[in-house]
């Protein structure tokens, strides 16, 4: 089977010959630690890992479609202050953000490591701010869609994989505009404004996707980034989720499935137990990363929700860091769900630096056995 075939057969509860090997990936601090622990300095970690555990080079995979949903133009980045080990900057999204100077301030363009941020101000505080912000999200901006979308899709399929896009969910996007506290207060004090912003974002995304499909693009997977849960509960109530967010999910799912996209994957950190039923009802058929430290129990999820939804992730990073029998017990814990189908096991978030290179190799070797590779 190709990666594409295994990916679909696994997540759609079919009969794959093997489960895709997707152990999770390191951030920059993790790679630095691994290079001090035996990973060659000039080598690709994944290629070395495959060789260490005796697996062949993996052909195919999920490839980015190159579709842009970000604001155009972005705000001019500017360092406003640098003192006491911190930068305070206006970031490309228009927020005033504070981060450690352990990294170059351009870290805020993409999360390449584990860094805590603090937000001082957000770009949408008034109706005038909102009207100005909308001008940055014109779905017809030419550079949003690659001119070779059809060729990219054909090439990815020929390699045994497929294209994916990742789009901010409405909670994520409105939080970037208004801030977390600001958005939550609006949900209570001005819910009609929240609905207006969510509807705008929903239609913007749909218009960009429509252009991509019209250009001959095709998707194997639509990913939705929504990070909307604390360690023990969702950030807004299920009732608010249904009111403000579910219409977006329903519209996007219907659109991409009509265009032949079989996988819609919801990404949210935190405890997602009370959100999963809403996602299932919306037509979302996969979620990740199933963080164990946030009281997510994938075995209990399978008992409760059956085969209505699949999963990726779900292996406790803390057990991976401990290694040895602790790690093996963790893999044994999830084994019934792996056997039941609809699940690609892997680290339950980015791989942190307390997971040593030797322990990661050991975990990956056991994971490869579980997934039928050795």
17 burial class (0-12, 13-18, 19+ CB within 10 angstroms)? exposed
- Under the banding of pLDDT at 50, 70 and 90, the label for residue 23 is very high
Element (H, E) at 225: strand 221-225
CATH 3.20.20.210 in the chain is located at 3-72+124-370
Q: What does the pLDDT read at residue 116?
A: 79
60 in the Ramachandran plot: left (φ > 0), alpha (ψ -120 to 50) or beta?
A: left
Task: For residues 215 and 193, give the distance between their C-alpha atoms in angstroms, rounded to a whole number.
Answer: 33
Predicted confidence (pLDDT) at residue 170 exceeds the cutoff of 80: yes
Task: For residues 113 and 101, give the distance between their C-alpha atoms in angstroms, rounded to a whole number.
Answer: 13
Measured over all CA atoms, what is the biggest interatomic distance in the chain, rounded to whole angstroms? 60
Percent of the chain with pLDDT over 90: 94
Q: What does the pLDDT read at residue 104?
A: 76
Q: What does the pLDDT read at residue 77?
A: 92
Instruction: Name beta bridge partners: 229.
Output: 234
Predicted confidence (pLDDT) at residue 47 exceeds the cutoff of 80: yes
Q: What does the pLDDT read at residue 100?
A: 87
**Residue the block writes with tokens 């499909």:** 213
Q: What does the pLDDT read at residue 300?
A: 97
User: Which pair of tokens denotes residue 195?
Assistant: 């609905």
Whether 317 and 363 have beta carbons less than 8 Å apart is answered as: no
Q: What does the pLDDT read at residue 107?
A: 76
Task: For residues 239 and 241, give the distance between their C-alpha atoms in angstroms, rounded to a whole number.
Answer: 5
Instruction: Name which of 21, 14, 17, 19 is nearest 1 in CA terms.
Output: 17
Instruction: Name beta bridge partners: 371.
Output: none
- Under the banding of pLDDT at 50, 70 and 90, the label for residue 96 is very high
Task: For residues 349 and 144, give the distance between their C-alpha atoms in angstroms, rounded to a whole number.
Answer: 29
Task: For residues 105 and 78, give the distance between their C-alpha atoms in angstroms, rounded to a whole number.
Answer: 9
- Under the banding of pLDDT at 50, 70 and 90, the label for residue 336 is very high
CB atoms within 10 A of CB 7: 27
Per-residue pLDDT, averaged over 351-355, amounts to 97
110: Cα separation from own chain's centroid: 13
Whether 271 and 233 have beta carbons less than 8 Å apart is answered as: yes
* 326: CB partners within 8 A, 6+ apart: 319
pLDDT tens for residues 99-108?
A: 888 877 777 7
- The CATH number of 3-72+124-370 is which of 3.20.20.210, 3.40.50.740, 3.40.50.720, 1.10.10.10? 3.20.20.210
pLDDT tens for residues 201-223?
A: 999 999 999 999 999 999 999 99
Q: What does the pLDDT read at residue 88?
A: 94
- Under the banding of pLDDT at 50, 70 and 90, the label for residue 311 is very high
- Under the banding of pLDDT at 50, 70 and 90, the label for residue 196 is very high
Instruction: Name beta bridge partners: 97.
Output: 89, 119
Helices 170-178 + 180-189 axis angle, to 10:
100
Q: How far apart are the first and last CA of the chain?
A: 16
Reported in sequence order, the residue ranges of 11-125 that DSSP labels E, i.e. its strands, are 62-64, 78-83, 86-90, 96-100, 117-121
pLDDT tens for residues 248-307?
A: 999 999 999 999 999 999 999 999 999 999 999 999 999 999 999 999 999 999 999 999
- Under the banding of pLDDT at 50, 70 and 90, the label for residue 168 is very high
User: Which pair of tokens denotes residue 13?
Assistant: 């509860």
* 112: CB partners within 8 A, 6+ apart: 27, 28, 103
Cα separations in angstroms, 71 against 24, 174, 182: 29, 13, 20
Whether 340 and 308 have beta carbons less than 8 Å apart is answered as: no
Q: What does the pLDDT read at residue 117?
A: 85
- Under the banding of pLDDT at 50, 70 and 90, the label for residue 22 is very high
Predicted confidence (pLDDT) at residue 195 exceeds the cutoff of 90: yes
Q: What does the pLDDT read at residue 85?
A: 92
Per-residue pLDDT, averaged over 340-344, amounts to 98
Predicted confidence (pLDDT) at residue 115 exceeds the cutoff of 90: no
User: Which pair of tokens denotes residue 333?
Assistant: 């814990």
What integer best gives the mean pLDDT of the chain?
96
In order, the DSSP letters of 303-360 are: HHHGGG-EEEEEE-HHHHHH-HHHHHHHHHHHHHHHHHSSEEEEESSSB-TTS-HHHH
Percent of the chain with pLDDT over 70: 100
């Amino acid at each position: 089977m190709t990666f594409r075939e295994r990916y679909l057969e696994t997540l759609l509860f079919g009969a794959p010959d093997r489960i895709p090997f997707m152990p999770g990936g390191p951030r920059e601090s993790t790679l630095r630690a691994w290079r001090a622990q035996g990973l060659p300095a000039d080598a690709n970690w994944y290629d070395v890992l495959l060789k260490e555990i005796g697996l062949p080079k993996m052909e195919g995979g999920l490839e980015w479609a190159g579709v842009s949903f970000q604001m155009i133009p972005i705000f001019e980045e500017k360092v406003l202050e640098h003192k006491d080990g911190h930068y305070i900057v206006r970031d490309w999204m228009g927020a005033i953000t504070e981060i450690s100077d352990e990294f170059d301030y351009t870290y805020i363009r993409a999360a390449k490591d584990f860094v805590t941020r603090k937000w001082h101000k957000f770009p949408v505080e008034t109706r005038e701010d909102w009207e100005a912000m909308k001008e940055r999200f014109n779905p017809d901006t030419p550079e949003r869609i690659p001119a070779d979308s059809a060729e990219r899709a054909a090439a990815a399929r020929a390699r045994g994989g497929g294209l994916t896009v990742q789009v901010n969910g409405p909670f994520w996007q409105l939080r970037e505009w208004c801030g977390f506290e600001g958005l939550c207060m609006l949900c209570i004090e001005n819910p009609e404004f929240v609905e207006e912003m969510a509807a705008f974002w929903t239609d913007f995304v749909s218009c960009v996707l429509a252009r991509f499909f019209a250009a001959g693009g095709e998707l194997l997977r639509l990913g939705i980034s929504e990070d909307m849960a604390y360690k023990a509960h969702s950030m807004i109530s299920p009732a608010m989720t249904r009111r403000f967010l579910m219409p977006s999910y329903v519209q996007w799912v219907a659109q991409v499935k009509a265009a032949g996209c079989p996988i819609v994957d919801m990404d949210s950190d935190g405890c997602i137990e009370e959100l999963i039923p809403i996602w299932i009802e919306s037509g979302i058929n996969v979620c990740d990363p199933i963080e164990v430290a946030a009281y997510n129990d994938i075995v209990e999820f399978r008992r409760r929700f059956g085969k209505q939804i699949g999963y990726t992730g779900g292996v406790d990073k803390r057990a991976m860091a401990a290694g040895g029998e602790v790690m093996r017990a963790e893999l044994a814990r999830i084994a019934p769900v792996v056997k039941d189908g609809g699940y690609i096991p892997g680290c339950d978030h980015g791989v942190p630096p307390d997971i040593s290179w030797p322990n990661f190799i050991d975990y990956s070797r056991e994971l490869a056995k579980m997934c039928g590779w050795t």
